[in-house]
Amino acid sequence: MSVTDKAPTVGNGHVGRSLKRKEDPRLITGKGTYVDDIVLPGMTYAAFVRSPEAHAKITSIDTSAAKELPGVRAVLTGEDVQPAAPLPMVWVPPGVEVRTPEHWPLARSEVKHVGDPVAVVIADDKYAAIDAAEQVIVDYDPLPVVTDPEKALEDGSPLVHESLGTNESHQWALGGGDVEKAIGEAEVVVERRIVNHRTSGAPIEPRGCVADYRVDHLTFWTATQIPHLVRSFLAGEMEISEEKVRVIAPEVGGGFGAKLQHYGEELVCAWASRVLDRPVKYIETRSEHMATTHHGRDQIDYVRLAGTRDGTITAIHAKVIADLGAYHHLLTPFIPAFTGFVLSGCYKIPNVQTDVIGVFTNKMSTDAIRGAGRPEATHLLEVMVDQFAAEIGMDPLEVRRKNFIPKEDFPAEVAVGIVYDSGDYAGALDRLLQNFDLDGFRREQEAKRGEGKYLGVGFSTYMEICGLAPSRVVGPSGVGIQGGFWESAVVRVHPSGSVTVFTGASPHGQGHETGFAQIVADRLGVDPGQVEVIHGDTGTGPYGMGTYGSRSLAVGGESVARTAVKVADKAKRIVAHLLEAAPEDIEVTGGKFQVRGSPDKGMTLAEVAGAAYVPDAMPTDMEPGLEETTFYDPENFVYPFGAHACVVAVDAETGKVEVVRYVCVDDCGPAINPMLIDGQVHGGIVHAIGQALYEQIHYDEQGQLVTSTFVDYALPTAAEVPTFETDRTETPSPVNTLGVKGVGEAGTIAASPAVVNAVIDALRPLGVSYIDMPMTPMRVWGTIQEARS
């Protein structure tokens, strides 16, 4: 990897400031337009008929009663909705067979999980559609069910897809060094079975779409993270030429990975709109969300970590049994592979190996949920580092320090062959400990123990891969999302000097309208209030890849920055021409394109734009206008990192865990907007505390979903989390000119092991040495009882 770009001149210093979010005035005054706010003349509403069975043959579907009901315009089944291709799965790793059963938007002959859509009713109003859906009579012939991925791998297990002859989707391995040899020769080997259970993305706004097909054109609003990709998929499936499909992601109320997907319901609504020649709206209910929007995690990790008694880690091996659910959605089988890429974490471990077995079960599919494979890796690694430290009787922080990749080693290639861009792991931990008085905590812990309270502290030092791109690395790994992994931007300066930015990123809570405006404002010498950022509309900007994998700033923001630099360069040439100076002597400072050393010679962007759009005085070899485009494909990923500490109080009588303090240091390179970063870190930590203590998608043995509402699926609220004490170090990435890395998933990736390690730290005096998530009162209490007996 080589990066030669020089950082562009920063003009007015908006970058680095905690500007309030430009998007908030409309959001907090209820003026945002979400999918459900879109009302079109002649609108009809979709309600899906879903399987109550986890696995069954469909023996008949009787739609006659439903069709008779007032207001019902159509009832469609799998026979009626026949797209040109099944729903997409885009991971085809070279040399690995990934068994991918056909996945149609409406089940054709069998249902494979509770909630599998079987038919759709389209009616004039939502309630008529729901009532009619209840009148569609489907006869099911139940088949044997398997929900436990380990049982699914046993001989004689019920098969989710009979035609495959196995429940194994695929095996995939990634390694470096010789793990078995290192483990065989090690002084110490610690082993654990770590369950990283199934969770939901659970954004506040569930999924929804409005399809409006008219005269060969489809306009499609959808709550998505990937509007351009949804357009490509819909165009292909419906055999409509791509330019005739416009996909708009309006205001999107959170996604957390669950909207990095192309769902069958989207296609069904578009199809129905074409059949009926009317707009069709679908908004899922919360219970539908829990059952049929893809889940995350669900790995059983058999981990061995080997080392010497002086604390050097010599090898780590993870056998990952990944429960993929019933079908492959967009990236389902790839997610556990991502675990393998980051298994070394912050450490110099010479022997590293991940062996993944992907397994079908009669459950909803898993796919990317915030972190997507990386939280699982960090969780197992950081928990195992503590287990290893306990085994050899060493301070877990000393073990970490001993094994950190030193900052002088960057760019650093790790055993699995990837090259980390930059890092200072010891620096982040040092900063954390400055903010956290560990000695003071240990004294308090001791004192409180005398009072019958169990306090514990857990640490997690993490590293993650994000900035998803670069195509030339991701492509060969087999991820074939239409169009590669670059990002696009257009920066358009209007004749008045105000600016519109079009980005291929598709924010759904991250605040790109603010951060991207700050980047452009500095490069063009204007106020961020003069910069409007347009996103999520395939009809306005060039093709773009969307928002996921904490890629938007490092890839999308960088493409915006580069485009603004191109615009500034043209502006400089115009100014140089008009003010008779050399272009190299023009700098953006004080809100002007200024001739260096001549304070009275300068032009505002509005004056430059005026000249560019009224080109009579422009250089003859220059095109009129002031607008540029960039397609940016980076040379490497970016690798953020940090150090987190969690303090818990455990009530040993009830098993209740309370997070009483949370201190963290994150490093995502130079901050564009520290407040946006804090917001991301807060949300990310809550997400992981949720998994560690409360949230779990739970199916019973018959494949019935037990946690289908927020009554059973326990999302933490503000009352369950402390005030977060955040801080940052800033280690620039050499990969992009902004020096930035991602932060959108950092909290989620870092926090769950910190919480688990804290609970174990609290309960060690009672003999507890390990506990799985979610650490519900029942589980914690049970573990204490077991340890006591």
Closest CB to ligand MCN among 117 and 336? 336
Measure the CA–CA gap between 192 and 215, rounded to whole angstroms. Answer: 60
Closest CB to ligand MCN among 44 and 200? 200
C-alpha distances (whole Å) from 631 to each of 11, 421, 542, 556 are 24, 22, 9, 9
Residue 464 C-beta: closest distance to ligand MCN, Å: 10
Closest CB to ligand MCN among 292 and 550? 550
Residue 487 C-beta: closest distance to ligand MCN, Å: 10
| Identity of the residue numbered 496 | S
Residue 680 C-beta: closest distance to ligand MCN, Å: 5
Closest CB to ligand MCN among 113 and 512? 512
* Ramachandran angles phi, psi of 57, nearest 5°: -85, 140
User: Helix or strand or coil: residue 334?
Assistant: helix
Smallest CA-to-CA distance from 160 within 146, 140, 139 is with 146
Residue 436 C-beta: closest distance to ligand MCN, Å: 23
Residue 340 C-beta: closest distance to ligand MCN, Å: 19
Residue 553 C-beta: closest distance to ligand MCN, Å: 3
Is beta strand 419-420 parallel, antiparallel or unpaired with respect to 627-632?
unpaired
Residue 352 C-beta: closest distance to ligand MCN, Å: 24
Q: What is the CA radius of gyration of the chain?
A: 27
Q: Give the angle subtended at the CA of 754 by the CAs of 336 and 440, to the nearest 5°.
A: 165
On the CB side of 502, CA atoms within 13 Å amount to: 17
Q: What is the DSSP letter of 7?
A: P
Q: What is the DSSP letter of 87?
A: P
* Ramachandran angles phi, psi of 505, nearest 5°: -70, 155
CB atoms within 10 A of CB 52: 14
Smallest CA-to-CA distance from 509 within 258, 721, 680, 686 is with 680
Q: In the complex, which residues of this chain contact ligand MCN (CB under 6 A)?
A: 203, 254-257, 370, 508-512, 515, 547-554, 557, 668-673, 676-677, 680, 683, 740, 742-745
Measure the CA–CA gap between 336 and 173, rounded to whole angstroms. Answer: 10
Do the beta carbons of residue 388 and residue 352 sit within 8 Å?
A: no
Measure the CA–CA gap between 694 and 422, rounded to whole angstroms. Answer: 35
On the CB side of 660, CA atoms within 13 Å amount to: 17
Closest CB to ligand MCN among 127 and 710? 710
Closest CB to ligand MCN among 279 and 515? 515
Residue 786 C-beta: closest distance to ligand MCN, Å: 36
Residue 703 C-beta: closest distance to ligand MCN, Å: 27
Closest CB to ligand MCN among 23 and 212? 23
Closest CB to ligand MCN among 525 and 557? 557
Residue 505 C-beta: closest distance to ligand MCN, Å: 7
Residue 203 C-beta: closest distance to ligand MCN, Å: 6
User: Helix or strand or coil: residue 551?
Assistant: coil
Residue 551 C-beta: closest distance to ligand MCN, Å: 5
Closest CB to ligand MCN among 44 and 510? 510
User: Helix or strand or coil: residue 122?
Assistant: strand
Closest CB to ligand MCN among 381 and 743? 743
Closest CB to ligand MCN among 325 and 515? 515
Closest CB to ligand MCN among 14 and 512? 512
Smallest CA-to-CA distance from 92 within 7, 172, 187, 192 is with 172
Measure the CA–CA gap between 742 and 468, rounded to whole angstroms. Answer: 9
Residue 122 C-beta: closest distance to ligand MCN, Å: 29
Measure the CA–CA gap between 503 and 649, rounded to whole angstroms. Answer: 45
Closest CB to ligand MCN among 36 and 745? 745
| Identity of the residue numbered 249 | A
Residue 372 C-beta: closest distance to ligand MCN, Å: 8
Do the beta carbons of residue 702 and residue 52 sit within 8 Å?
A: no
Residue 371 C-beta: closest distance to ligand MCN, Å: 7
- Per DSSP, helices labelled H in 187-248 are 227-238
Do the beta carbons of residue 517 and residue 526 sit within 8 Å?
A: no
Can you read off the two tokens belonging to residue 723? Answer: 């005030």
In the beta sheet, which residues pair with residue 550? none
Closest CB to ligand MCN among 553 and 649? 553
* Ramachandran angles phi, psi of 656, nearest 5°: -75, 135
Residue 637 C-beta: closest distance to ligand MCN, Å: 12
Residue 588 C-beta: closest distance to ligand MCN, Å: 21
DSSP letters along 61-77, please?
EE-HHHHHSTTEEEEEE
- Sequence-distant (6+) residues with CB within 8 A of 132 are 47, 66, 67, 69, 71, 72, 75, 121, 123
Q: What is the DSSP letter of 639?
A: -
Can you read off the two tokens belonging to residue 135? Answer: 């009148």
For 602-619, the three-class secondary structure string (H helix, E strand, C coil) is EECHHHHHHHHHCHHHCC
Closest CB to ligand MCN among 3 and 65? 3
Measure the CA–CA gap between 679 and 686, rounded to whole angstroms. Answer: 11
Closest CB to ligand MCN among 251 and 745? 745
Output the CA torsion sign for 466, 467, 473, 475.
Answer: positive
Do the beta carbons of residue 737 and residue 563 sit within 8 Å?
A: no
Closest CB to ligand MCN among 172 and 516? 516
Residue burial 469-481, b: 16+ Cβ < 10 Å; e: rest: bbbebbeebbbeb
Do the beta carbons of residue 135 and residue 70 sit within 8 Å?
A: no
Closest CB to ligand MCN among 497 and 509? 509
Residue 728 C-beta: closest distance to ligand MCN, Å: 9
On the CB side of 452, CA atoms within 13 Å amount to: 5
